[in-house]
Chain A
Amino acid sequence: MKLIFKLTVMLALLLLPVTPLWAHGGEETEVDAPTLARQAIAFLDGIKDSEAAESRLQEALEMDDSSLDAKKLQEAQQALKSKDVEKAKIALIYALGSDPETAPELALHPKFAGGGAGYSIIIISILFILSGLAILRSGKSNRKVGINHEKMA
């Protein structure tokens, strides 16, 4: 009886996640052209959804909003058609009147820059790892020595 109860609880809790309880919806308000361009960038930067980005871009173009550079928008559209996501993002940034070097709309992906500080940190880190391993090793050998002493005794 207890086993059945336990199994039921476990099964219920394991199956709970896969029960489709609620239908999907979606709520988006109408937005202006610059926001559509930003949404397109977010789709390209985030889940790399070119399709969603393209539809936003198309809507932005249809709005014919003077605050966006239509030529750059078209350039972005062309880039998306030729699957050049990076070029599309840059064109969209230009369309918004921003500079791709500093545009906050784009994600920052820093890389290892090298330099004195970078290599020093690497060396120190490796020393930390080696020191830790040495301590662990000495602990293990002490244990073996301890066991041997016990055997000899």
Chain B
Amino acid sequence: MKKWLKERFPLNAFNYEVPEHANTLPFFLGGITMINFVVLIISGIILAQFYNGSPETANQSIRFLMTEVPLGNLVRGFHYWSAQLAMIFLLVHLFRVFIYGSYKKPREGNWLIGVGLFVLMFGLYYTGTILKWDQEAVEALDHTLAAVEMLGPLGFYFSPEFAPQLSILGKILTLHISVLPIITVIVIVIHLYLIKMLKISDLPYRSKNQVSSKKIQPKKTFVDHFKVLFAYGLINIGVLGVLATFFPAGLGGVPVSGIESTKPPWLFMGVFSIENWTGLAGLIWTSLAAVVLLIIIPFIDRSSSPDWKQRKVFVISGLIAFVVFTGLTLNGYLTKPEQHIGMGSEMEETESTKTVVKTDGEKDSSEMVGQDDLKETSPEVQALQAALTIINDMKTLVKNENYSEALAKAKELDKTVDAVGDKIKAKDSALRQRMAEAIHELGEITPNGNNSGVINNLQIAEETIRDAIQLFQPKEVNDGSKIETPETAALKTALEQVAELKEAVTAKNVSKAIKLAKAIDKSVDEIGEKIEAKDKSLRQNLGEDIHELEEISNSNISDPKLQERLNRIEENLTTAVELFKTP
């Protein structure tokens, strides 16, 4: 049986000799990283069964895994901690190879492959943190997207022009679970093959055995080496089990836009410090510089021997780099983050799209809206006017059949309008719906396809945006002044509250719905007598319907009659507004 197996699985091929020092811990760091990579793949496959890669539900799907799925926390803990250990061992492995000069001739190529693996592992770690889709993830993604804009064509994968039908989270998910792992596995195979062919590097110093005597050492083979690696693997998995059980991975809250309220994971804390001082561009250039430095090391360290005595400059530089990296990391933990997004050229906007800013720190008036005429208009109107400008540009582009640029403009339009989407919705949800649908259709322009509906959608988008501008303009009343009467103001507040209540009902948020029902009652009560004076039956109908709203509960929140009642209240309130417009 043994013979049969040996013939079919000639594992003796691995029984080649390895140097004695290959069986010491510094030469297992890469192997332990690989073991963690295997754990990451296995745990990642399990996690992927429960992950929903859409921005609306990603965070919730992880919450479900953590709270409802048996051992879900444990599997996630394994994934999280193996990622941390993989990166720690990878960094130490890289540092060991650098200090030992293991990249020297003829191993320069394998060093470059190793640098590639280092970048790939960073990519995997980074994309993994984004998939959580919590505050920290979205802030990290915002940084990347801003950086991508600065990189221009190099960042095409993340640009809206590339696969516009896929959300950015979808793109990150694809990178994390297929593109990057597949490339990493291929590169690991090449790395291992080159280690086998070029053999394990020498020590940069004379070992005790070499110094003390010329004793004949028992020969060590790769199988012996593998046994020790197996032992380290068992210890590593045991440690992972303990960490995953006692310290399960946490998850941040669902993201909220407009702030930077988190710090990145430890791995990025060093570059985060630099970003805090120099801005977003500093982050990009430092990261690029680090990779370039790693690439050129074998080509500037040309001494033939790895001996430390002959490489003092490099060894000392390596130690300084380690101290600087550690210092930057500690500094990152100790300092408060600055607001970075919006810095540099990547966020240069047209004056018309700028909105009044509220920052945590000092307010710089030079960053405020530049044009005097815009100061008199609200941020909503400014954004909507910017949207109209984009639509005009799109019309020209479509006329010239320049669909790829029109698509880019459509994305810009979507972003511009989205910034005030909630405000429009609060005033007129139907209008917001029509606007969103038309803009969404515009986002599906195909560079070379049939775009027959584009003109129509542009028309709808323009009309709805113009209507929305009216919603935010101060209303002219009969005397020509821009003052709204208390009655119309109260009724409009009530209309906004009804729109919000509709949303709460759709979301089945009973507590919010009850709160809003009370608020509507209060708003209408304030001018109840005035409405009654103009139209008694209208007041009565409104009063009855609003009174009924206070009965909202879990059992009736899905009742279609409730929706009908809300529509009726909305109609009656609109009628009441008209009553007060008429002298």
Contact = CB atoms under 8 A, between A and B. Distances in A.
B252 interface: yes
A122 B250 contact: no
Closest 9 CB pairs of A and B: A27-B342, A125-B241, A128-B238, A22-B279, A97-B512, A132-B234, A129-B238, A132-B235, A135-B231
Interface in A24-60: 24-32, 35, 38-39, 41-43, 45-47, 49, 52, 55, 59
Given A21-B278, A125-B242, A129-B239, A14 B358 contact: no
A116 to B, nearest CB: 11
10 contacts: A9-B296, A22-B344, A25-B344, A26-B359, A97-B515, A108-B66, A112-B247, A125-B237, A143-B218, A147-B217
Interface hub of A46, A118, A122, A129 (most chain B Cβ within 10 A): A46
Contact of A13 (B293, B356, B519): B293
Interface string B345-369: 0010000000111111100100100
Interface string B300-332: 111000000000011001001100100010000
Given A24-B279, A108-B63, A3 B245 contact: no
B173 interface: no
A67 B134 CA distance: 24
B286 A129 contact: no
Interface in B520-558: 523
A46 B238 contact: no
| Interface SS, B side | helix
Contact of A128 (B216, B234, B277, B324): B234
A108 B423 CA distance: 30
Contacts of B493: 66
Q: For the complex, would chain A's binding face be called helix, strand, loop or mixed by DSSP majority?
A: helix
Contacts of A32: 422-423, 426
Given A3-B313, A13-B289, A139-B228, 15 more contacts: A13-B293, A18-B277, A21-B278, A26-B359, A26-B361, A30-B355, A42-B135, A42-B261, A46-B135, A67-B512, A110-B73, A111-B248, A113-B73, A126-B242, A147-B218
Contacts of B321: 14
B293 A39 contact: no
A139 B274 contact: no
B119 interface: no
Given A104-B59, A129-B235, A46 B261 contact: yes
B262 A46 contact: yes
B367 A22 contact: no
A123 B234 CA distance: 13
